[in-house]
């Protein structure tokens, strides 16, 4: 499914040089991959949500189309930023739709390990995850990036290690630390006294 990186790199170079049609080419080349990522995110939302994978990819496209000459290095960098944009679209969607309905005491079942399983349907509060990731990024920006790339971008630990230029073992350690932080940050207030 992954298109040849050279084609994507050429389109990204054109985009950086101001070719406004290049953004369309980049999205054309990675559209199917982004749609798979979007479908994973949509499956994680609670049943009955109206945001669909096509709408999510199109919202991400609109956010990128407004940018001029982005400093995108390669396909992985683009996917990382697209994953971040998907996170923001989902968070904005949830804020609009659930602002009146949010129950801060609602139980949160958060199994971030299921990220690689497309059929997994963990239930979690998107806004609580966004807030926990914001707090994590203040403490350790790279750990927050690892979560974003893995959870929202669907990248493997090996792909993330290549992006960062570090060993897979280092990324696995960062992933474990980030998961622990998020687990504790997202536990309902009453459960935190038991820790």
How confident is the model over 89-94, as a mean pLDDT? 82
12: alpha, beta or left? (left if phi > 0; alpha if psi -120 to 50): alpha
Q: Which residues lie closer than 8 Å to 96 by C-beta, 6 or more apart? A: none
The CA-atom distances, in angstroms, between 109 and each of 13, 69, 121, 187 are 42, 40, 10, 9
Please tell me the predicted confidence (pLDDT) of residue 168.
95
pLDDT at 172: 94
- What is the SS3 assignment for 1? coil
| Tokens 């079942």 belong to residue | 109
Predicted local confidence at residue 49, as pLDDT: 65
Give 143 or 52, the one with higher predicted confidence: 143
Total residue length of the chain: 195
Backbone angles phi and psi of 116, in degrees to 5: -80, -10
Q: Which of 58-72, 87-101, 114-128 has the lowest mean pLDDT?
A: 114-128
Residues 6+ apart with CB under 8 A from 42: 49, 51, 52, 53, 56
Lowest mean pLDDT among 7-11, 44-48, 158-162: 44-48
Q: Tokens for 125, please give them.
A: 């509060």
> Residue 108 — pLDDT band, cuts 50, 70, 90?
very low
Least confident stretch, 20-34, 77-91, 115-129: 115-129
What is the predicted pLDDT for the residue at 69? 60
Q: Using alpha carbons only, what angle is made at residue 35 by residues 106 and 135, rounded to the nearest 5 degrees?
A: 40
Q: Give the residue among 113, 104, 36, 25 at the shortest CA–CA distance from 61.
A: 25
Mean pLDDT of 109-117: 43
Contact 129, 150 (CB under 8 A): no
Calpha distance 109→183 (Å, rounded): 9
What residue ranges do the domains of the chain occupy?
1-75, 102-195
Question: CATH number of the domain at 102-195, out of 1.10.3720.10, 3.40.190.290, 1.10.10.10, 3.40.630.30?
Answer: 1.10.10.10
For the chain, percent of residues with pLDDT exceeding 70: 74
Point out the least confidently predicted range of 55-64, 95-104, 164-173.
95-104
Q: Chain-wide mean pLDDT for the chain? A: 77
């Amino acid at each position: 499914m992954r298109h040849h990186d050279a084609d994507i790199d050429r389109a990204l170079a054109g985009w950086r040089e101001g070719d406004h049609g290049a953004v369309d080419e980049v999205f054309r080349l990675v559209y199917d991959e982004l749609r798979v990522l979007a479908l994973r995110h949509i499956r994680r939302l609670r049943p009955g949500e109206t945001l669909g994978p096509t709408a999510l990819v199109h919202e991400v496209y609109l956010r990128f189309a407004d940018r001029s000459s982005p400093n995108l290095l390669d396909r992985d960098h683009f996917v990382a930023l697209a994953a971040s944009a998907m996170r923001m679209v989902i968070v904005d969607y949830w804020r609009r739709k659930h602002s009146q309905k949010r129950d801060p005491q609602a139980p949160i079942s958060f199994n971030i390990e299921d990220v690689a399983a497309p059929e997994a349907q963990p239930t979690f509060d998107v806004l609580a995850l966004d807030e926990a990731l914001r707090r994590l990024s203040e403490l350790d920006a790279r750990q927050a990036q690892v979560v974003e790339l893995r959870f929202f971008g669907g990248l493997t630990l090996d792909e993330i290690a290549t992006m960062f230029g570090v060993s897979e073992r280092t990324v696995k350690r960062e992933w474990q630390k980030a998961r622990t932080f998020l687990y504790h940050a997202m536990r309902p207030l009453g459960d935190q006294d038991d820790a």
